[in-house]
Structure 1
Amino acid sequence: MSTTSNPYRGYRFPAEIISQAVWLYHSFSLSLREVKLILAARGVIVSYETIREWSLRFGRTYANSLTRRRPQPGDKWFLDEVFARIRGKLHYLWRAVDQHGNVLDVLVQIGRNKKAAKRFFCKLLKGLCYVPRVLVTDRLRSYGAAKCEILPGADHRQSRYLNNRYEVSHQPMRRRDRHMRRFKSARHAQQFLSTHSPIHNHFQLRRHRLSANEHRAAREHSFATWRDATGVALVE
């Protein structure tokens, strides 16, 4: 991590253990207790509440660091929203992915109207030095209305089928939602997904498009970037 001080100072466990726990929790569909069991098999005795604290304390920092290190996203964006019930109330999880499968951002909102779509577009564009060439969405009218105001120059393609390929990218979130027995609040959902999406996506290497050697090289590069992002190399 790009910091002059050691972020792990004062913690009983070394950086390697902390980053490993956060990686396990966000890269796989594991509960905190299952991560605890895996660490125990390696001789690391730690409570699941401590793992939760590590995830909250370091997870978002890791995710932000990975986001800064990723290549510039593609110019073709696939946008979709799925519903989730949080304490019995309907919410929508807005999500954007580029043509390479990279998750651009996630936003939890209670509506799916023009105002909600505009808010999501503004969040996607924040900090970017370019605008997308193509937007691919379903037939929700809110996208078209927001696009005319925020991204008037982008080509907007609407179809119930064009987005099918990227709707499956919601599956990791769906699995985690079930595993966690539903999110406790909209704030909790946003906090978790903002951490989970960049970390989980970082290790999704699109194996079907790579040879064995290319996959191993890409995997090693992902782990090298992870070590750099978590600052493990700096404290070794």
Structure 2
Amino acid sequence: MQVEVPKIDFKGSHYPKDVILYAVFFYARYAVSYRDLEEIMAERGVVVDHATLNRWVVKYSPLIAREAHRRKSATNSSWRMDETYIKVKGKWMYFYRAVDKHGKTLDFKLSERRDEAAANQLFKRTIKNNGWPEKVVIDKSGANFAGLQNMNLLLLLHGWFWLIDVLQVKYLNNMIEQDHRFIKKLNCPMKGFKSFQSASATLDGIEVAHMIQKRQFGTNGQSASLAA
């Protein structure tokens, strides 16, 4: 799969852009370790060590995710929001995720805490990238509910006559809970993360790979692409 990301600066790299993108997307899409990926690249005639592959993922995945948010197709205004657990340096952290009612990815964010501030950050970023929702379904988390109430307060302060409809109904959130499985499936073979930065960057890449699988880029059935 060819993925063009012209706004990302590859200057200074000793490898062609296509090689770097192939390695980053392969790692983010399939359950492999960096040493496995090193062997896979060697089989394709590219000699690159696992440490360099790790640096590519950490450096380029967030940049690719930024472009993905900008270029993805339109999403629905009915949202599902939830968080799942990710272990970083032996400590559990929280990966906030949001999808629309059709399962299309809206946004995602790794956080060290599960609190109102983290929920606020996710909602603000998701709204910035997708516009305001009409309805958001969440679990029974008081922090997530408070975050949405803060968004409604912003609407009131700006003179809007409608508010976000907040539903705390567990069965309606089954879609995003099922969607977490893609993250878990790829996270396990990676044998944990050694730093918050590495975890956040790798999860960015995994989410974009998942968005490609969901066909969130391109139109008329064309292959997924981040091309300009």
Q: Deviations over 1:139-196 (max 9, x none)?
A: 2222222222213611112112111122121122212332222222333322322233
Letter in 2 for 1:195: G
Within 5 Å, which residues of 2 pair with 1:129-144?
A: 130-144=131-145
Q: Offset at 1:87? A: 3.0
Deviations 1:55-82 (A, max 9, x none): 2333222222222111232211110112
**1:90–1:16 Cα change, 3 Å:** closer
- The equivalent position to 1:97 in structure 2, one of 96, 99, 113, is 99
- Superposed, which structure 2 residues align to 1:88-167 within 5 Å? 88-128=90-130, 130-151=131-152, 153-167=163-177
**4+ long deviations beyond 4 Å:** none
Say whether residues 1:196 and 2:198 are aligned partners: no
Percentage identity across aligned positions? 27
The aligned counterpart of 2:190 is 180
One-letter identity of the residue aligned with 1:69: R
Aligned length: 212
Q: 1:67 to 1:39 in 2, by over 3 A?
A: same
User: Alpha carbon RMSD of aligned pairs, Å?
Assistant: 2.5
> Which of the numbers 64, 67, 70 marks the counterpart of 1:65?
67
Query: Using CA pairs below 8 Å that are at least 6 residues apart, which structure has the higher relative contact order?
Result: 2
Q: Determine the C-alpha separation between the residues in 1 that align with 2:69 and 2:144.
A: 25
| Separation (CA, whole Å) in 1 of partners of 2:38 and 2:87 | 28
In structure 2, distance between residues paired with 1:156 and 1:112 = 19
Unpaired segments of 5 or more residues in structure 2?
Answer: 154-162
| 1:57-114 Cα shifts (integer Å, max 9, x gaps) | 3322222222211123221111011223433433222111112322222222233333
Q: Aligned residue for 1:80? A: 82
| CA distance in 2 between partners of 1:116 and 1:62 (Å) | 23
Amino acid at match of 1:30: V
Give me the whole-angstrom Cα distance separating, in 2, the residues matched to 1:14 and 1:194: 22
State the alpha-carbon separation in 2 of the partners of residues 16 and 155 from structure 1: 44
**Alpha-carbon distance in structure 1 between the residues aligned to 2:19 and 2:49:** 13
Give TM-score scaled by structure 1 length.
0.78
Is 2:40 aligned against 1:38? yes
3-state SS in 1 of match to 2:171: coil
Tell me the amino acid that sits aligned with residue 168 of structure 1: Q
